[in-house]
């Protein structure tokens, strides 16, 4: 996803929408990139832009992966620093700029949270390596291959026949015949 976002930005695409329930994608958000984040199934979704991420997590999107490295991500099975929640992590990141700044000043961070951080620096650095999205993967398709284009009814029939998608075919054709031009 990060690679496709990088390609879309390079191509000058004005608005990039990513549908994902993975909070790691928040690090991709900028003025042109928004995450459509499902909260409960597909019926309740949030549009997560820069302001929404900063309001909810206390850091800009560029620092979200640093925050996640400190507090952990249960969905990724990454344990955070015990006793450190999002507010404390956001305060450290605001004070020291980024995760590298927090680590550089680890001896100045006081209290139980500071002790816990010092005991878990290696885990935090590992978390950060693991949650960083790579944006230069060689892919078999490029952003231009994903552009919307007219659909081919015969090709859709062949694919759906092979997959035995009868009900889905009916729904798709009912939707597409009114919304999309055919090839």
Residue 44 token pair: 């309740």
Could you tell me where the beta strands, DSSP code E, fall in 41-95?
44-48, 72-73, 78-79
Confidence of residue 175 (pLDDT cuts 50, 70, 90): confident
The whole-number pLDDT of residue 31 equals: 97
Query: pLDDT of 13-51, one tens digit each?
Result: 999 999 999 999 999 999 999 999 998 876 789 999 999
pLDDT of residue 178: 55
Cα–Cα distance between 117 and 79 in angstroms, integer?
12
How confident is residue 177, by pLDDT bands cut at 50, 70 and 90?
low
Quick: pLDDT tens for 144-158.
888 877 878 888 889
Per-residue pLDDT reduced to its tens digit, 124-141: 999 999 999 999 999 999
For residues 178 and 107, what is the distance between their CA atoms, to the nearest angstrom? 63
> 7: pLDDT confidence band, cut at 50, 70 and 90?
very high
The model's pTM is 0.81
Terminus-to-terminus CA distance in the chain, angstroms? 28
For residue 181, the model assigns a pLDDT of 55
CA atoms within 13 A on the CB side of 84: 32
Each residue of 41-91: pLDDT tens digit? 767 899 999 999 999 999 999 999 999 999 999 888 999 999 999 999 999
> What's residue 63's pLDDT?
98
| Cβ-Cβ contacts under 8 Å for 151 (sequence gap 6 or more) | 176, 180, 182, 183
What is the predicted pLDDT for the residue at 157? 87
CB 179 within 8 A of CB 146: no
CA contacts within 13 A on the Cβ side of 182: 12
């Amino acid at each position: 996803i990060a690679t496709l976002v990088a390609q879309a930005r390079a191509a000058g695409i004005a608005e990039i929408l990513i549908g994902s329930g993975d909070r790691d994608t928040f690090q991709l958000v900028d003025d042109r990139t928004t995450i459509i984040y499902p909260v409960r199934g597909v019926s309740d979704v949030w549009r997560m832009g820069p302001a929404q991420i900063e309001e909810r997590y206390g850091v800009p999107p560029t620092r979200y992966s640093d925050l996640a490295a400190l507090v952990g991500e249960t969905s990724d099975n990454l344990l955070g620093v015990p006793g450190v929640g999002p507010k404390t992590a956001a305060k450290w990141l605001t004070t020291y700029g980024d995760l590298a700044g927090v680590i550089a000043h680890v001896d100045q961070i006081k209290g139980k949270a500071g002790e816990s951080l010092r005991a878990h620096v290696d885990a935090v650095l590992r978390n950060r390596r693991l949650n960083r999205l790579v944006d230069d993967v060689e892919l078999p398709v490029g952003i231009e291959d994903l552009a919307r284009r007219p659909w081919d009814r015969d090709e859709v029939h062949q694919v759906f026949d092979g997959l035995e998608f009868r009900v889905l075919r009916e729904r798709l054709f009912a939707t597409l015949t009114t919304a999309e031009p055919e090839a």
